Structure 1
């Protein structure tokens, strides 16, 4: 484990950028292993040299501050090299999951308009965007090729308010939208999280897609503090277990959907210091078994939408602390973050009364890439902050206790969380409605085993005598949506149930039996759960 020479006290981030922070760690620990996967491990010196080499190729493509570069690579050391290379040019990266359907990737690339896409040879063909193949494993380059990039080589100096990444989330309009995160926001989150989760400065397991900002914590906290990132699935593979026996995990971040899987894994997969759970509502009941298995680990319930740079609140559950089986609070704001709970008139609600969460201060995203209308709708002037400051309207309901702790109460709208992924049902409904045999469709999330939810699509046929086959509906969804947005079940109804006021009666929707429906076999679960069936229960209050 690297020696911890950083101050344990949170310090607000001054003018700095990610390349500067990373290169300081390279100078301090050049021969320490920085990243590893099932194929290789790279020291800080090796990772930095490879990233610099690729960065010079990207500079030749026009990469620079506030320019976007797509990364279409499998999760691994090569993808991390590409991320650092993009950041070194001053550009922002757009993570593109190779497992996404081509139609979705095409939309994201068309929307982001990156100057190029970093991909494996032959993995992506397009006439509109150049493809750059990572040269990091070619024969050794000259010293000039692997030297750090300086502002004189960039098309403009890199500054803290330039973009670091643009990550796409589900969109209510039927298309995903990109959230723009700046260097200063990301570094502020890393500075706070490094104090709250010191174990992450030593070693982490990066087990989720790079298109999911859950991975931001596991990636940057070690690399900016001299630690190690191991990249592998959250599953009991012998190779992963051997690595974790040599390099014990200091920290792990998961969604509630991962908790059952984690409880089945051997002790090598259990963090020694901190377990952070985020992405959707957490209950004490979900944690019960794990806390017996990991009695000395501190658990954090972290809250924060993508638009607030990963996380902005936390509730700490110390070893031995008693919890009820109900919802775990989402806690208090991080340093530099202001959390407002407001009513419909944007007035502060008193303690104990329900309101909507608004997030202001450090970490608030710049807005949505090329989406001025949604940006203006969600990113509002902050009447409680300094002149010119903004606040993000989350759409989440909460109430504040007399001690200042917030309790999450669900959504204001139809947005749902499924196994940590934020999903707008309208995006799925838009895809399914395009099927010629579909007259009406609604998509809801149904909870099963604690922490695991599944999507169910309810379909009314355009012609009651010619009903679309569930297999055809699934194929249509899978051709346009990532796997986590493909419904687990497609139920055909004669009509959608309505309330006396003419609104959809969600409580009256029939619940599928996942064990007996042939059309839902083989549905993927969260990473590591592929063969773990879910029982069906009533929907949670939050979605």
Structure 2
């Protein structure tokens, strides 16, 4: 059981000094080198007279300097704000205005000339000099307990992004759970490091790897965007643990080489961030028949994930939509209708999370904090805005966003349920259900945005065949009246399908 993240990292790095901690497309950094870099940067940070516990913004992609910066901040009692270098300028400015960092560590060039910046920006060249100086860290005052570990800004698809304040102990309980018996992850494993550090899913590979003497196999954003590079690189990484979104694994399954024969060491798949469909899980099980596939659930506001379950062949055979798991230790899940808790198993309502994983709130935003966070049975609790049910065994079933539920012709319809039904068609690779609103703001009809299986049919013939294939798979009132065909879907910075963006586009 880990007591302090910084202390545990130092012990592991010292005991495994020659082990590769970080592999960035062939650029190797050992645990000893990573600790030396983090200590040197931490010693320098201590000399900068930064306000106590003030956040440090870290700007970059998947470079090892990002990890050294995170650890240096934690070692000196500071939280860190990870920001991806491909972020839009308005997003960066909003993060600066809300997060109020005392310093910016720019591993990639920071666009200071296009922003209002009032704090020092340390460029990569200066950072490299500081790290190369290899100063020992003499002062010991790491983050601990309720000190903030990181502030992670939500994707901001509606309004300004909110800065979620995650404490050291929030993160610690997540790490302990990930490294425990529920997942039984292999020791000294190679973890796929693809999600950006601005997406909390990245903590599902980063900290379990660092806290177990394992290796992160980092894939920069540019490689993810280049299918040729990605598909060539992947089988050579000798991966053991996959961490990512279902959308990303769907992308990887476009490569014939993504299978157990070519990647025999890949034994664990951990999913979070969006719904894992039966279709994706079945395809993955066919590719990796001996692998363990885990579905997890949790919002950023509850430290990555709070529930998990292994998707067995039995679950696959008996599910229309896959469950998202049992609550982790220290978490209580409940279902609510407004301010009333629903106690009968199987009743649908809003998922409420209470316990030791729930974040402190939104940084410098007391109004939004008061709307979403409250105290339940003496525990910190969070209103997720997600619809779900708990069955008699305490297994959680996610039913989509409550704001993705619409009313059409008198029927209440979940857009995620329509999408799941559409993807049962053997002619559809991926689908998204989009409501089309009339002038009165009411839903007039449903549009299906579809990535089809390869076909030479005309659009009319293709649509007719898809409708025929869905005849016994989807309720008539849920059948979209319009089908549009796409080669790909837009993705958010976090690797999720940008559904809200697509809804906005079809209603412009």
User: Which TM bucket (shorter chain)?
Assistant: 0.7 to 0.9
Q: Could you tell me the TM-score, scaled by structure 2's length?
A: 0.77
Question: What does residue range 269-284 of structure 1 map to in structure 2 within 5 Å?
Answer: 272-284=266-278
Aligned residues of 1:295 and 1:319 also touching (Cα < 8 A): no
The answer for unaligned runs of 5 or more in structure 2 is: 407-414, 453-458, 460-482, 504-508
Q: 1:518 to 1:203 in 2, by over 3 A?
A: same
In the alignment, does 2:319 pair up with 1:382?
no
Cα distance change on mapping 1:243 and 1:253 into 2, 3 Å: closer
Give the equivalent residue in structure 2 for 1:259.
Answer: 249
Q: What's the counterpart of residue 84 of structure 1?
A: 71
Q: How many residues align?
A: 442
Partner of 1:20: 7
> How far does residue 312 in structure 1 lie from its aligned partner after superposition?
0.4
Find out whether 1:508 has 2:445 as its counterpart: yes
Give the RMSD, CA atoms, in angstroms.
Answer: 3.7
TM-aligned CA distance change 1:314 to 1:510, over 3 Å = closer
What is the rounded CA distance, in whole Å, between the counterparts of 1:239 and 1:254 in structure 2? Answer: 15
Decide which of 96, 99, 112 is 2:83's aligned counterpart: 96
Q: Counterpart of 2:154?
A: 169
Secondary structure of the structure 1 residue equivalent to 2:84: coil
1:60 aligns with 2:47: yes
TM-score between the two structures when normalised by the length of structure 1:
0.72
**Equivalent residues of 2:303, 2:358 under 8 A apart:** yes
User: For residue 47 of structure 1, what is the aligned residue in structure 2?
Assistant: 34
Call closer, same or farther: CA 1:131–1:280 in 2, change over 3 Å. Answer: same
Distance 2:360 2:39 in 1: 27
| Equivalent residue in structure 1 for 2:311, among 297, 317, 324 | 317
Q: 2:374–2:380: 8 Å Cα contact kept in structure 1?
A: yes
- Which position in structure 2 is the counterpart of 1:190? 175
- Please give the per-residue CA displacement for 1:67-105, whole angstroms capped at 9, x wherever unaligned: 111111122212222222222221111111111121221
What is residue 390 of structure 2 aligned with on the other side? 400
Contact 2:77/2:143 (8 A) holds in 1: yes
| 8 Å CA contact 2:104, 2:119 repeated in 1 | yes
C-alpha separation in 2, matches of 1:513 and 1:293: 23
Structure 1 residues 457, 56: CA separation in 2 closer, same or farther (over 3 Å shift)? farther
Contact 2:179/2:208 (<8 A) preserved: yes
Q: Distance in 1 between matches of 2:15 and 2:451?
A: 53
1:150 aligns with 2:139: yes
Highest RCO, 1 vs 2 (Cα 8 Å, sep ≥ 6): 1
Partner SS, residue 185 of structure 1: helix
Paired residue secondary structure (1:96)? strand
Q: Is the 8 A contact 1:53 1:136 kept in 2?
A: no
Distance 1:211 1:340 in 2: 28
CA contact (8 A) 1:200 1:218 kept: no
Q: Deviations 1:446-493 (Å, cap 9, x if unpaired)?
A: 9586785669797xxxxxxxxxxxxxxxxxxxxxxxxxxxxxxxxxxx
Asked if 1 retains the 8 angstrom alpha-carbon contact of 2:58 and 2:80, the reply is: yes
SS of 2:186's partner is helix
Partner secondary structure for residue 395 of structure 1: strand
Once the two structures are TM-superposed, the CA of residue 203 in structure 1 deviates from its matched residue by 1.4
